[in-house]
Structure 1
Amino acid sequence: MKRPAGFVEIRQGTDTCWLREDGLSTLSGSVFEPSFWQSRQAVTGTATGRGTTWFVRDGERHLVLRHYRRGGLFGRLVKDLYAGIRPAHSRAMRELSLLEAMYRDGLPVPKPMAARMSRRGPLYRADLLIARIADASDLLAVLQRAPLSGNQWQQTGAMIRRFHLAGIDHTDLNIHNILLDQSGTSWLIDFDKCSKRAPGDWQQANLARLLRSLNKEKGLHPALHWNQQDWPALLNGYHSQS
């Protein structure tokens, strides 16, 4: 996988960075350091999950800075180290390249801005910087506030189908990775370990993964505005795209 057009490569010590030429005020690896944004009083918020996600402002642009961290039991031991020495094969550069291809194809994804691989011998750490989708909340937050209409579920299903028609296998399609903005547009985020593939069983596996996620969150949040009767509407929207 090679660096997409429109990105420059900068090497600083053991770090390799890919940076969008026309998208950042500073073409430097410093943009991956929370302290850089803190010193400019440009941190607009944070979110916690496996680690801390930073929301920052670069002039008029609002960005999201994410450090890659492992999940599960293995993640408790290794946390944020991955095996590999070639930047183009790192998780950050692979996700940036896939995002850029989808962004250019007009799919509803955040605009990728930069990626970094930090070598530690045969291992590395990784970071990704993307544009923030304005006025958007994940599907969990939306459903905690109010139910979606049948038309909104159909639009969500149609959005997923667009990705499948483009061959995008989102291996972690869940309630947290679907965003809705205030105009009602659906977006898809978090493409770590995702890829472009020929049609296959993975498409139904994506949908099954999403259904499990919806049912799981309903179990954790009984007041969530979701029930099994909403699923056919999503599938109707999905199958309306061809």
Structure 2
Amino acid sequence: MHVINNKNTWILTTNNDFQDIDEQWFTQAYWMNQGRLLGANSGRGSAWVIKSEWGKWVLRHYFRGGLYAKLSKDSYFWTSLKNTRAYKEFQLLQKIHQLQLPSAKPIAALIRKSGLYYHNDLIMSHIKHQQTFADLLMANNQPIKTWQLIGKTIAQFHHHGIYHSDLNAHNILLAKPTDEHPVYLIDFDKGAIKNIKKTWRQENLNRLRRSIEKISERSCDSEFSIQWDGLLSSYQEHFS
């Protein structure tokens, strides 16, 4: 990780080629003026897809959720650089990339301190995929093989102690079943590396189950019982 500091602004990068990187890279206007802004993926905020000289990237601004969003939509209380959301996610994504696990590769991050608070942004590689798991849940066809691949992928992350704080169907991307990585996990904000013997692994799976049932309005005990059992069986098989 390379850290560029200019007063109360920090830029993190992974590539020495980015000698000219500055704060403009983290604004949609910069990419729009160059005709390189391709679109947006809406979520709590927006993740903008951009076409850089080095390939497709995703630019995400950190927005708050829940009750805190009513006080400030994107300001976070400052304690130190290493405790900022972007720094911790950037560092975790680096570790995930080193382990060759299927997720986005970190490109750069921006942290700007203003008084007692800070704002942050993150640029990651764009993952080529066909749909999200949430999209699949709305379809009639539910191939058990896909559910098994999802279970296998989650097990690979858990094997290395990679905790996903919001493991839901929207954060699981599905590529072609024949691709090297048919399943990707994304959005590791507030993620961490934890002791695999703790209860968080089951809590992760429980969170995913609630997400499946909420999005599809179908139960993992009845309508999706075969698929959910397949996901869990594959998870247990590949967790070691």
Query: Does TM, scored on the shorter chain, surpass 0.5?
Result: yes
User: Could you say which residue in structure 2 is the equivalent of 1:19?
Assistant: 13
Structure 2 residue identity aligned to 1:197: K
SS in 1 for 2:202: helix
Quick one: which amino acid aligns to residue 206 of structure 1? N
TM-score, normalised relative to structure 2? 0.90
Kept in 2, the 8 Å contact 1:85–1:124? The answer is: no
Which runs of 5 or more structure 1 residues have no equivalent in the other structure?
1-6
1:136/1:127 CA distance change after superposition, 3 Å = farther
| Off by >4 Å, runs of 4+ in structure 1 | 22-26
Are the counterparts in 2 of residues 10 and 28 from structure 1 also a CA contact under 8 Å? no
Residue in 1 that maps onto 2:225: 228
State the TM-score, normalized to the length of structure 1.
0.89
Task: Give yes or no for the alignment of 1:46 onto 2:40.
Answer: yes
Alignment RMSD = 1.9
Distance 1:149 1:23 in 2: 43
Aligned residues: 232
1:85 Cα offset (Å): 4.2
Superposition deviation, residue 138 in structure 1: 1.4
For structure 2, the residue ranges without an aligned partner over 5 or more in a row are: none
CA distance in 2, matches of 1:67, 1:118: 12
Aligned partner of 1:138 among 132, 142, 146: 132
CA distance in 2, matches of 1:54, 1:72: 22
Q: Deviations over 1:63-87 (max 9, x none)?
A: 0000001111221221111111422
1:205 to 203, 206, 216: 203
Q: 1:138 to 1:52 in 2, by over 3 A?
A: same
Q: Deviations over 1:115-136 (max 9, x none)?
A: 1111011110111100000134
Counterparts of 1:1-242 in structure 2, within 5 Å, are 7-22=1-16, 24=18, 26-183=20-177, 185-199=182-196, 200-219=198-217, 227-241=224-238, 242=240
Cα distance in 1 for residues equivalent to 2:148 and 2:134: 17
3-state SS of 1:176 partner: helix
1:30, distance to aligned residue in structure 2 (A): 1.7
1:49, CA displacement in angstroms? 2.0
One-letter amino acid of the structure 1 residue matched with residue 203 of structure 2: A
